[in-house]
């Protein structure tokens, strides 16, 4: 419960920003969930995305929403192409949010990279999922009721993460 990552917060912030731009509203009014790995296999969940409580699917048509989901998945690469380097402010801001939630025991719900041991029918993998952060770290992993399509995307993201883990596991000791 004390070892976790922040990529989910960073990716969700990007998703919210792209939605806010399309809807011409504040990203502060958007609540969203994004799961899975960090990169092209992440899983933004429009079904769990709202704007001041209104389902985003009632405010934006499917083709535009699909384009935003795709842009979110590739958003890190978009930044690198624009800046010539990876971002530094956004990851720092995401980490600061997590630190504040922990230090102040705010019981915030965030999508973070957490160790899964049976949750979401996934085992022995760190993957982005919604959790409750408290003073002692992750108090609870929140299991959303994913439909078959969403679960397939999450399983695909997990498989991609495991491929990367296998590359590291199979590296010669001298290279590690």
- Residues designated catalytic: 38
Tens-digit pLDDT profile for residues 27-63: 999 999 999 998 889 999 999 999 999 999 999 999 9
Tens-digit pLDDT profile for residues 131-141: 999 999 999 99
SS (H, E, C) 48-109: HCEECCEEHHHCCCHHHHHHHHHHHHHHHHHHHHHHCCCCCHHHHHHHHHHHHHHHCCCCEE
Q: What is the pLDDT of residue 83?
A: 64
The residue assigned the tokens 């990007």 is 14
Q: Given pLDDT bands bounded at 50, 70 and 90, which one contains residue 127?
A: very high
């Amino acid at each position: 419960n004390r070892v976790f990552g922040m990529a989910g917060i960073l990716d969700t912030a990007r998703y919210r920003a792209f939605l806010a731009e399309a809807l011409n509203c504040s990203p502060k009014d958007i609540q969203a969930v994004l799961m899975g790995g960090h990169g092209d296999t992440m899983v933004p969940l429009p079904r769990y995305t709202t704007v001041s409580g209104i389902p985003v699917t009632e405010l934006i048509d499917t083709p535009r929403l699909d384009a935003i989901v795709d842009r979110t998945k590739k958003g890190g690469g978009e930044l690198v192409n624009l800046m010539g380097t990876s971002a530094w402010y956004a990851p720092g801001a995401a980490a600061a949010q997590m630190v504040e939630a922990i230090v102040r025991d705010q019981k915030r719900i965030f999508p973070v990279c957490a160790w899964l041991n049976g949750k979401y029918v996934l085992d022995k993998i760190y993957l982005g999922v919604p959790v409750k952060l408290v003073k002692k770290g992750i108090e609870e992993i929140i299991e959303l009721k994913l439909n078959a399509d969403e679960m397939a995307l999450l399983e695909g993201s997990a498989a991609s993460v495991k491929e990367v883990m296998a590359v590291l596991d199979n590296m010669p000791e001298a290279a590690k």
